[in-house]
């Protein structure tokens, strides 16, 4: 019995969606909540999970087709419904050849798979269910509404490597996000069509993935033809009974191997066990009785493929993201000694952190350096090297230069006493963490105060388009996040309507997903004002750069304690206070110094007042 997968509701105003990519094919098994397909609407791109476990029996809406909410997209059952579409029934051809041997002998020796082992396709010899030469195109998927192209930065697989469904195949860089492109199918990478550092449009063909039989068949085609001619020359043109055909197939196992030996393997490799031959074809073949004698033709696949397959498996398990590699370098963890807990044995950040913790706990205290010895500085592996700019770095550079050339920028700085906020944090941080799961840092206070001031002075939140000034209806604050790839600014949307709990949770989530390269392009666009926390690295303040089309950016320095003159009823006194510098850079074409001063004054008064208990959200 099969069940229908329908397009769920994706929002109040969303009535339909377009299927952009199927992550499963007919005949594939799927688990509950496993991503089944990707759907794009006018507001969001998302994955549709499977509501049930089973086998995909039928796909009713193809890629690039549009369906209304509630429409049936596919049917999932126990697999009986997809029997006619499954490649498992392709071996029926040899049975037909046995029933009518006369036409098979007249047309081509390749059709006599039951009685003539040398003429079977290489894909059958390798244990593959796909016909020889089959392949599917891997195209650049849609990465966001405004993204039309991407640059291939690195191929994670080489030609001849095996790849699983959803396994990362390559890395692509756009002007908004760097991301990995997974393989939609399982098989062997047969051809790479777009090389590294080359740019391709969305929908452009990147590579071809197939069963892995096409390349070996092409290399051994002359030998196969010669073997087929030798077999055809044998006095076996008359029809043979099925039993006699099966026995002749076993008897001729060594003959084709000797007539077409592999160039990279000794002659005795032709008599290798079936298990070794299956490894060379990337898949262990079925027993001879299940393949109707086709398993005896494994020598058609070159022996060097065994090394390729094993090397590919090792590379799959050993591949780590740049973030994990950097973390391992910082913690002194040897990646080759780890066994990953991720998909396919991939090493994750958690594996590195666990190894670092266990190593630090195992080290005796006596092994520490003498107290008088200064720690040796860490030497970067980039020292003395040269490398090309990444696409993201090029985009940042171009936009920075365009911003300075196209705008008139200056910076205004104020000093703010945040002692009351510091005391509130100290009193509420444990309760806040327990109820929200987020740490109560200073940044949410700065974001809330800035959002409220933007509502009062919308000129700081405006954008310039030629000789027009646009005042947005919401305060979408871009939060600058430092990543290994460069500075990225995910957007905290409608910050003016959120409390400290919501702001803190969203900032933590955006920052984490930005560093893990899991943001969608839409989450990096639409900002109207930027907040950069330069104090997180100890800087007192800086003069941040405005990025178009925004007209202002505020930098928050480090919160430090220092002696300050405080005025009271009994006169002035000196006290230890927590202070911070706020630096506002703005486009002087439309923002005057007085506008900037008024904005900063409201932010300072809001922060120094410290009345945020009602905004905690706990």
Q: Which positions are catalytic? A: 588, 592
Three state DSSP letters for 354-392:
HHHHHHHHHCCHHHCCCCCCCCCCCCCCCCCCCCCCCHH
Question: Distance of alpha carbon 195 from its chain centroid, rounded?
Answer: 19
**Exposed / middle / buried, residue 324 (Cβ in 10 Å: 0-12, 13-18, 19+):** buried
Kindly report the backbone phi and psi dihedral angles of residue 305, in degrees, each rounded to the nearest multiple of 5, phi listed first: -60, -25
Residues 323, 516: Cα–Cα separation, whole Å: 7
Peptide bond into 516 cis (omega under 30): no
Residues 451, 529: Cα–Cα separation, whole Å: 9
Largest CA distance in the chain: 121
* Inter-residue contact 36 to 13 (CB < 8 Å): no
Q: Which tokens hold the place of 43?
A: 């507001």
Q: Which tokens hold the place of 158?
A: 């080489």
* Inter-residue contact 299 to 260 (CB < 8 Å): yes
- Residue whose C-alpha is closest to residue 535's, from 405, 448, 415: 415
Kindly report the backbone phi and psi dihedral angles of residue 510, in degrees, each rounded to the nearest multiple of 5, phi listed first: -65, -45
- 19: which strand partners? 39
Sign of CA dihedral 84, 86, 88, 94: positive
- 573: which strand partners? 566
First vs last Cα of the chain: how many Å apart? 49
* DSSP β-ladder status, 205-210 and 16-22: unpaired
Residues 174, 102: Cα–Cα separation, whole Å: 59
- Residue whose C-alpha is closest to residue 70's, from 91, 48, 92, 88: 48
* Inter-residue contact 143 to 180 (CB < 8 Å): no
Helix (H, G, I), strand (E, B) or coil at 290: coil
């Amino acid at each position: 019995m099969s069940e229908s997968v329908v397009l769920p509701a994706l929002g109040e105003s969303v009535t339909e969606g377009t299927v952009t990519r199927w992550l499963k094919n007919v005949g594939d098994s799927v688990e509950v909540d496993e991503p089944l397909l990707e759907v794009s609407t006018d507001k969001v791109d998302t994955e549709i999970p499977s509501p049930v476990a089973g086998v995909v029996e039928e796909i009713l809406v193809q890629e690039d087709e549009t369906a209304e909410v509630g429409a049936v997209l596919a049917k999932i059952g126990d697999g009986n419904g997809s029997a006619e579409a499954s490649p498992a029934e392709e071996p029926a051809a040899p049975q037909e050849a046995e029933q009518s041997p006369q036409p098979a002998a007249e047309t081509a020796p390749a059709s006599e798979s039951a009685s003539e082992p040398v003429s079977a396709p290489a894909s059958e010899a390798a244990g593959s269910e796909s016909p020889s030469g089959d392949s599917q195109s891997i195209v650049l998927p849609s990465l966001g509404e405004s993204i039309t192209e991407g640059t291939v930065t690195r191929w994670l697989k080489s030609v001849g490597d095996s790849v699983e469904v959803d396994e990362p195949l390559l890395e692509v860089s756009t002007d908004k996000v760097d991301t990995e492109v997974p393989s939609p199918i399982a098989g062997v990478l047969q051809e790479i069509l777009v090389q590294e550092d080359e740019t391709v449009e969305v929908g452009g063909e990147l590579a071809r993935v197939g069963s892995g039989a096409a390349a070996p068949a092409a290399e051994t085609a002359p030998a196969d033809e010669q073997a087929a001619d030798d077999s055809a020359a044998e006095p076996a043109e008359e029809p043979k009974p099925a039993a006699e055909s099966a026995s002749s197939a076993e008897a001729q196992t060594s003959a084709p191997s000797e007539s077409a030996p592999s160039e990279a393997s000794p002659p005795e490799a032709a008599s290798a066990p079936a298990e070794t031959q299956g490894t060379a074809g990337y898949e262990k073949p079925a027993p001879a009785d299940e393949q109707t004698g086709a398993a005896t033709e494994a020598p058609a696949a070159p022996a060097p493929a065994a090394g390729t397959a094993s090397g590919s498996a090792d590379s799959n398990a050993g591949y780590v993201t740049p973030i994990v590699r950097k973390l391992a370098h910082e913690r002194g963890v040897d990646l080759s000694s780890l066994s990953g807990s991720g998909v396919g044995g991939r090493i994750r950040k958690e594996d590195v952190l666990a190894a670092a913790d266990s190593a630090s706990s195992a080290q005796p205290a006596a092994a520490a350096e003498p107290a008088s010895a200064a720690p040796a500085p860490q030497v970067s592996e980039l020292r003395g090297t040269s490398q090309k700019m990444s696409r993201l770095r090029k985009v940042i550079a171009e936009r920075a230069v365009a911003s300075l050339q196209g705008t008139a920028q200056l910076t205004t700085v104020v000093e703010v006493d945040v002692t009351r906020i510091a005391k509130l944090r100290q009193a509420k941080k444990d309760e806040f963490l327990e109820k929200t799961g987020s740490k109560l840092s200073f940044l949410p206070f700065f974001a809330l105060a800035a959002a409220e001031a933007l509502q009062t002075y919308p000129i700081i939140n405006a954008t310039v388009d030629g000789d027009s000034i646009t005042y947005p209806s919401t305060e979408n604050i871009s939060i600058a996040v430092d990543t290994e790839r460069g500075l990225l600014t995910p957007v905290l949307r409608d910050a003016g309507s959120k409390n400290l709990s919501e702001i803190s949770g969203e900032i933590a989530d955006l920052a984490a997903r930005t560093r893990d390269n899991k943001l969608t392009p839409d989450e990096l666009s639409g900002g109207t004002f930027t907040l950069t926390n330069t104090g997180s690295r100890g800087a007192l303040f800086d003069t941040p750069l405005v990025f178009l089309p925004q007209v202002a950016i505020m930098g928050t320095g480090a919160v430090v304690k220092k002696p300050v003159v405080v005025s009271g009823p009994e006169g002035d006194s000196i006290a230890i206070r927590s202070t911070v510098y706020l630096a506002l850079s703005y486009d002087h074409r439309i923002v005057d110094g007085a506008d900037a001063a008024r904005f900063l004054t409201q932010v300072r008064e809001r922060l120094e007042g410290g009345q945020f208990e009602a905004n905690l959200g706990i």
